[in-house]
Amino acid sequence: MIKLLFALLFFATALMAADKSVYDFTLNSIDGQPAPLGAYRGKVVLLVNVASRCGFTPQYTALESVYEKFKDRGLVIVGIPANNFGSQEPGTNQEIKTFCTTKYNVTFPMMSKVSVKGDDKTPLYQFLTDKTANPHTGGEIQWNFTKFLVGPDGRVMARFEPAITPDSPEITTAIEKALAEAKK
């Protein structure tokens, strides 16, 4: 009987996780205002945990370039600062905003700093890394600039590890495919 109850509980939890989407979460903007991800419903979203003092930080240039190339077709890039890896994002939200806009001319939405790993992991990243909710893309974040491609329905379509640059054929092809699907 107990085994059956545990099995039912596991199944119910898996169903609830499967019913969630990225649009069920709200972060705070870099300016501290609530930023419901549901505002991007119907768009293709690339979520990226970013850091200002990382070897991958120059990817901001490619992120902005990809954003400019595809934003009019329905792509939104969301930068999510995190200080989980090597203390490479130590600044305040204002310092991060100033760095991104002055050094890399970032115009895509930036969120307030969160944790993407550990006991204080933000609920969005609990969902993104949950292997039950996202069996093909779940798993712990290993470093800064991990990218999640989200379809217009809020479901995670793909995950790209930090070394894969935003302007790589692998990512731009996936974005183009997602944008084409969104038009159907």
Residues marked active site are found at 54
Can you tell me the distance from the alpha carbon of 118 to that of 40, in angstroms, rounded to the nearest whole number?
A: 27
Q: Which helix (H) or strand (E) holds 79?
A: strand 75-81
Residue 15: phi and psi, rounded to 5, are -65, -40
**CB count, 10 Å around CB of 97?**
19
3-state helix, strand, coil in the chain (%, to 5): 40, 20, 40
Can you tell me the distance from the alpha carbon of 169 to that of 134, in angstroms, rounded to the nearest whole number?
A: 23
Residues whose CB is less than 8 angstroms from the CB of residue 141 and which lie 6 or more positions away in sequence, other chains included:
49, 82, 84, 116, 117, 125, 129
Q: Taking Cα atoms as reference points, which of 115, 128, 61, 107 lies closest to residue 89?
A: 115
Distances (CA, A) of 75 to 41, 45, 66, 177: 11, 6, 9, 12
